Amino acid sequence: MDWSRYPNFSEDEFKCSHTGKCAMDSGFMDKLQALRSELAEAMTVTSGYRDTSHPVEASKGRPGTHTRGIAVDIACDGQQAYRIMALAMKHGFTGIGVSQSGGGRFLHLDTFTGGPRPNVWSY
């Protein structure tokens, strides 16, 4: 992957915290960079690629979108969360998970197309 195409992100932000691997999908990253460019403010990635051996993924019945390189979790709250959600829909993200209560507030964004979509859920 040519990370120079994504000036607001680095490969290190997306590496699996368990294995250090990074297999992000370039189409996904194109959408994320377009969203970030329009947002015009910093976005903090808390989870990008996850290897299937990552404890979160290993505990699931089947690996999720992070293991396909088509998902990211972004730390955000309040107005920034609202703006990111609106831009995510505009830029073709098909899955939006919302965690906006308590500590560790974030949005999950993905481009999965293998099920009922678009889809928004809360954690």
List Cβ neighbours of 19 (8 Å cut-off, separation of 6 or more).
Answer: 51, 53, 54
**Domain chopping of the chain, boundaries:** 3-112
Task: Work out the percent of the chain whose per-residue pLDDT is above 90.
Answer: 96
| Residues paired with 98 in a beta bridge | 107, 122
Q: For 64-103, b where at least 16 C-beta lie within 10 A, e where not — what string?
A: bbbbbbbbbbbbbeeebbebbbebbeebebbbbbebeeee
Write out the CATH class of domain 3-112. alpha beta
Q: What is the per-residue pLDDT for 9?
A: 98
pLDDT digits (tens, 9 = 90+) for 1-59: 999 999 999 999 999 999 999 999 999 999 999 999 999 999 999 999 999 999 999 99
